[in-house]
Amino acid sequence: MRESCGIFGIFGPGKDVARITYFGLYALQHRGQESSGIAVSAGKTINLYKRMGLVSQVFNERIISGLKGKIAIGHNRYGTTGSSSLTNAQPLVLHTHLGHFALAHNGNLANTQALKRKLFSRRESFTTTSDSEVIAKVIAEEKGDSWEQKISRAIKKLSGAYSLVIMTANKLFAVRDQFGIRPLVWGKINSSFVIASESAALTNLGINNFEEVKPGEIIRFDGAGLKVIDHFKSKKTAFCIFEYIYFARADSVLNGKTVYLARVNAGRILAQEHPVKADLVISVPDSGTSAAIGFAQQSSTPFIEGLIKSRYIGRTFIQPEGKLRQLGIRLKFNPIEEIINKKDIVVVDDSIVRGTTTAGIIKILKKGGARKIHLRIASPPFIGRCFLGVDIERYKELIANNRTLVQIRKKIGCDSLGYLSIKGLKKAIGKIDYDFCTGCFTKDYPVSYQE
């Protein structure tokens, strides 16, 4: 599954804004590992550096030292394939009649094609294939003498998921779609303002006071402080429930709820919904560990680690092929036989996407002597394509797509299988100010996708 991107921005005259952005992006690395970029505005000039790779690979001391200015924005992009994908790296920088303008985007539009057709009718053109450039162009071509006007008008035309940080010569903006689909928070430290996809990027920088950018808000940060310049309200809100399950860092607080605790609770409720008598509870590390702890507590079954995950798998690892192919999953997840041997085991994970790895793990555990394996998933069956931030190309490969629970269980090879209900998941998170987007489980989306 592809991850949502990570975005960051800082308005900090006198601060080393590029360096702070570097650390911020580093804390958001989990949201995108394909490419990383930072754009810095020194007023009249703008500097941009973006390349393929992890934050720590893309930047070095010389590059960070060279990015001087008073405002910076940064972006981590999720992985795709193809040699030309540098083209789609962000931030995007545009040179316009109002000066330079840089944008970093997390989310996916639902009406990209319609917007493109409109811009095409004006004979506008694009340098990338991303919807992020469409957003930038819609803003840039909007009438108005100020960026405030342009942004306000433009977002009325955008349908879908977008959390944005926007930088102009002297201002920083935080923008979030009216449904509040992707997270976005901001904080203040001394006289600087910082925006990030997740609160963990702020707490990592020592900023413990932060607030959400509310759905539909456009907030401006500049020398005069912060100002909410528009608030595009909507009756409906739809925060992506998958952020709690998978995308966000465990130490982030989304809508007032700590992600880690939501995951532990999900495990607890899962144990209530799908109780099972077993000798022990293990997790698929690290994704299932928090839910497994919750499951164990609720079911009074001991939690222990039964699979050791390798920390060294990287892009340059030579994959085992041919006769050695079966080593693949084993090199990543190795079981502790003495723990699992002749035991009835509950295996907890956060979700199942294609099911290939899960099936491989079950096989390894069985081979290691496990007697019964009860697979418990701390989220509902993943069935729907998500056009609001997750790679939509391959949803036909989803194991839960057009399969019954029994079929899934057989394909995976476990002895019993239980998914958390949507109701249970919502209960695990607790009451927040917004509704959820649960499209990936229900095919019920806040907006419809326009081809």
- Nearer to a second copy (CB atom), residue 304 or residue 422: 304
- Nearer to a second copy (CB atom), residue 56 or residue 234: 56
For residue 348, the one-letter residue type is V
Q: What is the DSSP string of 94-118?
A: EEETTEEEEEEEES-BS-HHHHHHH
Q: How do strand 257-258 and strand 253-254 relate by DSSP bridges?
A: antiparallel
Question: Cis before residue 286, ω within 30 degrees of 0?
Answer: yes
- Nearer to a second copy (CB atom), residue 282 or residue 414: 282
Work out the burial of residue 443: count CB atoms within 10 Å of its CB; fewer than 13 is exposed, 13-18 middle, 19 or more buried.
Answer: exposed
Catalytic sites, residue numbers: 5
Taking the complex as a whole, how short is the minimal distance between the CB of residue 253 and a second copy, in angstroms? 7
- Residues paired with residue 49 on neighbouring β-strands, in sequence order: 38
Q: Which two tokens stand for residue 315?
A: 């892009």
Biggest alpha carbon–alpha carbon distance for the chain: 73
Taking the complex as a whole, how short is the minimal distance between the CB of residue 109 and a second copy, in angstroms? 16
- Nearer to a second copy (CB atom), residue 138 or residue 375: 138
Taking the complex as a whole, how short is the minimal distance between the CB of residue 241 and a second copy, in angstroms? 19
Taking the complex as a whole, how short is the minimal distance between the CB of residue 7 and a second copy, in angstroms? 17
Neighbouring C-beta atoms of residue 127, cutoff 10 Å: 11
Distance CA 300, CA 278 (A): 10
Distance CA 16, CA 364 (A): 49
Distance CA 242, CA 341 (A): 34
Taking the complex as a whole, how short is the minimal distance between the CB of residue 294 and a second copy, in angstroms? 9
- Nearer to a second copy (CB atom), residue 163 or residue 203: 203
C-beta of residue 3 within 8 angstroms of C-beta of residue 50: no
